[in-house]
Amino acid sequence: MALVNSLYSQAAKGALCKAFGVRLVANPSVVQLAKNSGFDALFIDLEHSTLSINDASLLCMAGLQIGITPFVRVPHQCGNGFVQRVMDGGAMGAAVTISKYPPFGCRSMTGQLPIFELRSTLANTIIDETNAHGSSVLLMIETRDSVDKVEEIAAVDGVDVLLIGSNDLAIELGVPGQFESSEFRNALEKVSQACQKNNKIFGLAGIYDAPKIQSWALNTLGARFILGQQDSGLLATGGKRCAEAISEVLK
């Protein structure tokens, strides 16, 4: 079977890959809701959540079944073993060497993988299809050091996306929450330029309900991967609006 990866298919058209963040809801029904809403990918967060690897696998498998590409954010310094378990659970994206099979990486081979519908699959097919389509590499740019070394990072073979972690990066730059500041904007411009130079995809995460900044990132800087919102954020804002609307009716 040929693997379909929305990050690659959208990038090939110069289109935007829209990701839905999951950090709270373990029920796979949330995946169908994300698909119905028009998102192309999942961004399952195992760094800032209590979701387990098993939760992530169930979400990934649901995504694979209905055609929404699952990516998983792993915790900082979690180790290759953790990343490999996430990938074997159905994720289609992680970090470079452990996400790829030899000769491009050092991922260990196993059978009945979710991305191949748990079917027995020839080893060569697993290697070729996974390395080409089922192992996207998204690197988070969240520190001043990563911005300073972005040319070196962007030049790494096998990296697909440099994804801005907006909140952590702004804090590192000394401008927490100040996404309109020159410090933050200059950093994004530098990352964008490195992506363009090295044919990588520029991505934005952590900035929601801010169309002006999002428009600048998408239309000026050329971002083609964006984390649109997370389940927790949608529940928080939607719940608040609902309660306020009910209170207004009472008046």
The reply to whether 48 belongs to the active site is yes
Cα torsion at 215, 223, 107, 105 (round to 10°)? -160
Tokens of 207: 């900035």
Max Cα-Cα span within the chain = 68
Query: What is the Cα–Cα distance from 224 to 218, expressed in whole angstroms?
Result: 7
CA atoms within 13 A of residue 61's CA, in its CB half-sphere: 17
Q: How many residues does the chain have?
A: 251
The two beta strands, 69-73 and 93-94, are unpaired
Phi, psi of 87 (to 5 degrees): -65, -45
Question: Looking at 15, 37, 48, 108, which residue is catalytic?
Answer: 48
Q: How far is CA 127 from CA 41, 46, 94, 169, in A?
A: 22, 26, 16, 35
Which candidate, 45, 5, 57, 51, places its Cα nearest to that of 21?
45
Supply the residues annotated as catalytic. Answer: 48
